[in-house]
Amino acid sequence: MLVQRKVNPIKQKIKNGEVVFGTCLYSFCPNIMEIAGYCGLDFCRIDNEHSWRQDHMIEHVMRAGEIANILPIPRVDKNNPYLIRKVLEIGGGGFLIPEIKNEKEVEAIIRASKFPPLGERGYSPLCFSGNYGITDTVEWVKWSNEQILVGVMIETPEAVENLDKIMKTDGLDFVYFGAADFSIKSGLDKPNKNHPTVRGALKKTIEVAKENGKHVMTGVGYPWNEEAEKYIEMGCTMIEIGHDYSVLSTIWKKTMEDVKGKKR
């Protein structure tokens, strides 16, 4: 049975020069994933680095993304190629790997995410992504190699030093500039995205990405619209608007201040 698979909408939009918007899920709640999709967000990063859920819940979250037409992009731990394969099999439209430092690590990630001859991903269509082997598997392999978004985190001084080689890696689609970790690992006592060192590293990341046809994602905090506009002007094409915890806590805190009259 031949099924016409959808073109990855995020990949298509950024290729066309559009900016895409998303958020991040720490709670692993499928309902929140659906709400994000119905609100018009393009993607949702699912954090499986700091939020530890390697169980059936991530599959429910992936299916919620399919229902609400929002692209799931799980973040999984570094140096575990089997996690890459698993999140792609259960429906990840892309994935993100943290703490990348050089091009050799990126090359290993590409090999784990692509089927031969582009990589060495293990083959089994008996999964959600492969329609459980019922539909054309040749087409599934081709689609997987072409449409999956591959992303890595730039969040260390060493990674910034190696940007030229990292960005030249075939198969890499985007990088996420992690301002918080970069701040701490640069010797600052706390995250400071506006520090000259951090801003300079982000600017360099954007410049090198553009030179190599790659894209840059970064996260924005409250006030979300002002921060988003600033980073879009800098050249970021993938904007992550907080995450479920921060958005909810910000709204609740602000609402409580208003209800109690602190702002009147």
- Total domain count, the chain: 1
| 34 assigned to some structural domain | yes
Looking at every residue in the chain, the average pLDDT score rounds to: 95
Contacts of 254 (CB under 8 A, 6+ apart): none
| 121 assigned to some structural domain | yes
State the CATH number of the domain containing residue 216: 3.20.20.60
220 burial class (0-12, 13-18, 19+ CB within 10 angstroms)? buried
| 107 assigned to some structural domain | yes
What was the pLDDT predicted at 203? 98
| 4 assigned to some structural domain | no
Q: Taking the model in full, what pTM does it have? A: 0.94
Give me the residues of the chain with pLDDT under 70, please.
1-4, 262-264
C-alpha span between 176 and 153 (Å, rounded): 5
C-alpha span between 173 and 175 (Å, rounded): 7
What was the pLDDT predicted at 264? 54
What was the pLDDT predicted at 35? 98
Written as one string, the DSSP assignment of 137-196 is HHHHHHHHHHH-EEEEEE-SHHHHHTHHHHHT-TT--EEEE-HHHHHHHTT-SS--TTSH
What is the domain extent for residue 230?
9-259
| 264 assigned to some structural domain | no
| 1 assigned to some structural domain | no
Per-residue pLDDT of 223-243, as tens digits, reads 999 999 999 999 999 999 999
